Amino acid sequence: MLENFTPLSGLAGGLLIGLSTALLMLMNGRIAGISGIVGGLLARKGSEVAWRAMFAGGLLLGAVAYVLAMEEAFPVIVEESLPIMVAAGLLVGLGSRLGSGCTSGHGVSGIARLSRRSIVATLVFMGTAILTVFVTGRVL
Amino acid sequence: MLRMMVALISGTLFGLGLAVSGMANPQKVIGFLDVTGDWDPTLALVMGGALLVAAPAFRVILGRRRPVLAEDFDLPANKGVDARLVGGSALFGVGWGLAGFCPGPAVVALVPALVTGIVPVFAFFAAMVAGMAIYERLS
C-alpha cells in the first residue's frame, strides 16, 4: 500500500506552483493556466503573446534549473505506445481549450477563487481520467 | 518590461514546482488516477499544496482594485456551466488518463526528454499543440 507515495516532494512542488499562481495574479492580474497560455500563443488575434511566451519559456527554465541543481534529469517514464500518445495529445489539446482550462487553470486558479465552472470542470476531467485509467488498465 | 519579468519568474517557479513534485512523470499521475490499483495520492498533495497558497492569496489579491503592474484582473466573464465546458473537460480527462500528461507536465517533460531522447514525449507535445490549433480553427 502507498509504496509510491512521495508526500514531501509533492507538497513542496505544490507550494511552488501556488506561489507562481499567486505572483502572476498579484502582479499581472493573469491566470496561470497552462492550456490558455500555450494555446494562446497560437491565437491569431490578441496582444497577449509576449508574456505567454515568457511564461512558457519559464516553464522550460524551471525544468532546466532543477536538472542543473540536482545534477540529474527528473524521471519521465512513458509506457504507452506512440499512437496512443498522439491520440491522447490531441484530446488534451483540443479538450482543454474547448473546456477553457486544464489542471492548472481550473484545478488550481479556478478552485482557489471558488469558480463554479472550474469546480465542475475539475470534477469532470478527474472523473473521465479515472474512468479511462480503469478501462485501459483493468478492463481492456 | 516588469510584467515580462514577472511572467518569466512565475513560469520558472511553476516549472520548478512541477519538476520537484514528480508530476512531470506520467506514471505518478496514472498512479493517482488508478484508484482501484496501487493508489499514489501524491497528486492530491500537489494540488492541495498549490491551493494552500493560492486560495488565501487570491482572497487578498482579488480584493484589490487592480493588480500591481496591470490595468485589470483578466478573469473569465462566463459564469455558467455549459455543454462546451463539460464536453471539453471530459475529452481532456480521457487524454489525460490515456497518457498521464496534462499541458504543464507535457512542456516541462520536454527538458529531460531532450537529454535522454524519449520520443513519445515529443509526439504527445506535438499532438497537443495540434489539438490546440484545431480549436483555434474551430473558433
Ranges of residues in chain A with a pLDDT under 70 are 1, 45-46
Residue A54's pLDDT is 98
Q: Do A121 and B25 touch (CB under 8 A)?
A: no
Mutate: best of A133, A134, A136, A140, partner B, most B CBs <10 A: A133
Q: A22 touching B, CB under 8 A?
A: yes
What secondary structure letter does DSSP report for A75? P
Residue B35: all three cell numbers together? 484508484
- pTM higher than 0.90 for the full model? yes
Closest Cα in chain A, distance from residue B91 (Å): 5
Residue A75's pLDDT is 93
* Domain limits, chain A: 7-139
User: In which band, very low, low, confident or very high, does the pLDDT at B26 lie, cut at 50, 70 and 90?
Assistant: very high
For the cut 80, the answer to whether the pLDDT of residue B12 exceeds it is yes
Closest Cα in chain A, distance from residue B100 (Å): 9
Number of structural domains in chain B = 1
Q: Which domain holds residue B52?
A: 2-138
In whole angstroms, give the CA distance from residue A99 to residue A8: 31
Closest Cα in chain A, distance from residue B86 (Å): 6
For the cut 90, the answer to whether the pLDDT of residue B139 exceeds it is no
b/e map of B126-137 (b: 16 or more CB within 10 Å)? Answer: ebbbbbbbbbee
Residue A47's pLDDT is 72
User: In which band, very low, low, confident or very high, does the pLDDT at B79 lie, cut at 50, 70 and 90?
Assistant: confident
